[in-house]
Structure 1
Amino acid sequence: MGTRYAGRWVTAAVLGLVALGCAQPGARDGDSSPLLSPSASPHPSIPSAPSTPPRDASPPPGDGAPHEAENNGWKQRHDLTADEQRAGDALAARIRPKLTALRTAGDFAPSSTQQALLGLGLRPDDVQVTAMRPPLDSTTPPPGAVFAVRFAGAGCVIGDVRPDRLLVEVTGAAAEFGCLEPYTH
């Protein structure tokens, strides 16, 4: 009785190993289906499943967390109207020459950037300037300044002045933080 019982286990183990070793060429660990041509069916008598997912199925998660969009909703900015975009573009056109002059002079101090923006007649409450963020491996910020100017209650001209570039962009304000996104890490 022991030999016959042991023989069944050996047979089951061998069949299991054979089944594992019989994967189709090109199949990888974790593949849920063998490689087939688009028109091939794994079994001629069983039709293949439709390639369109059911309407109520949620899409598979991507590289981000399942609630990434929800968690980052606070970063969403107001969409500018055509009039707001024109007003922002006009303000950016006034800002760019002042900050270009600072960059050309090699002056990247946040206080100089603030004075240049206020020199345009902008309200102090609408102007925000900070130093550049230091790299993760340092406590000293690189030369430069980050700025934001709020306009029309819904728009922002944001950017930075640094040795290698001047960036001036027009965008909408965010409901949670206004123009400059707070540093989180």
Structure 2
Amino acid sequence: MRVGKISWLVAAALLAVLALGCAAPGTRVDDVQAIPTSAPASPAVVAEPTDPQADAPPNHADNNGWKRRHELSAAEQRTGRKLAARIRPKLEALRAAGDFAPASTQRALLDLGIKADTIEVTAMRPSIGQETPPPGTVYAVRFASLGCVAGDVRPDRVLVEVTGSAAEFGCLEPFSH
């Protein structure tokens, strides 16, 4: 009976040592607390995921790799900004006139001396569940073989962005649901 009692005490002592060794910092007797005792207790802080794809499926990057755009060099960026500065006033004039027709946007870009084979223009697409597209035009102008000035002309804005082209589709991403 004495051996059984000793075994039980040894097992209890081992469990106590294990419990103390596995305790969180600041919970053991000799630990120094990081927060002064006069400070009010703060609620636990739960870190939000900082990865932009934190809630995406594991193959999200692979599935969307076709959208990856070319990174523009400093010289390509400058060329794109100069082209964008020429395009914006023409498209702002169309917006001010209430002209959102793709043909008008195409004509405005051609009037700037931009070659027709570098221009893409389409009408806005209807939202899912709607049959009629909103007023507006989506456009892109390819420059320096890998650069794009792209955006749209809508009643509420003119968008002009300088970006790189994508290997799979060029400047304007194809429509998909």
Corresponding position: 1:169 with 2:161: yes
Question: Do the aligned partners of residues 45 and 86 (structure 1) sit closer, same or farther apart at CA in structure 2, a change above 3 Å counting?
Answer: closer
Q: Does 1:181 align with 2:157?
A: no
The correspondence of residues 82-101 of structure 1 with structure 2, limited to 5 A, is 82-101=74-93
Post-superposition shift, 1:135?
Answer: 1.1
What amino acid is the match of 2:54? G
Which of 147, 158, 170 is the equivalent residue of 2:139? 147
Identity rate of aligned residues, in percent? 65
Equivalent of residue 117 in structure 2, options 113, 122, 125: 125
Q: Give the corresponding residue for 2:19.
A: 43
Q: CA deviation at 1:137?
A: 1.7
| Partner AA of 2:114 in structure 1 | L
Q: Give a deviation string over 1:23-73, Cα, whole Å, max 9, x none.
A: xxxxxxxxxxxxxxxxxxx9214466xxxxxxxxxx9x8210111011111
Aligned: 1:69 with 2:69: no
Could you say what the CA RMSD is over the residues aligned between the two structures, in angstroms? 1.9
Q: TM-score, normalised by structure 2?
A: 0.72
Letter in 1 for 2:172: L
Unaligned runs of 5+ in 1: 1-41, 49-58
Separation (CA, whole Å) in 2 of partners of 1:45 and 1:106: 73
The answer to whether structure 1 residue 79 and structure 2 residue 55 are counterparts is no
What TM-score comes out, normalization by structure 1 length?
Answer: 0.69
Unaligned runs of 5+ in 2: 1-17, 25-50
Query: Which residue identity lines up with residue 153 of structure 2 in the other structure?
Result: V
User: Structure 1 CA distance, aligned partners of 2:162 and 2:145?
Assistant: 13
* Distance of 2:144 and 2:21 partners within structure 1: 67
- Mapped pair 1:156 → 2:132: no
How far 1:184 sits from its partner (Å)? 1.1
Cα distance in 2 for partners of 1:158, 1:108 equals 15
**AA of the residue aligned to 2:175:** Y
Q: Aligned AA for 2:75? A: D
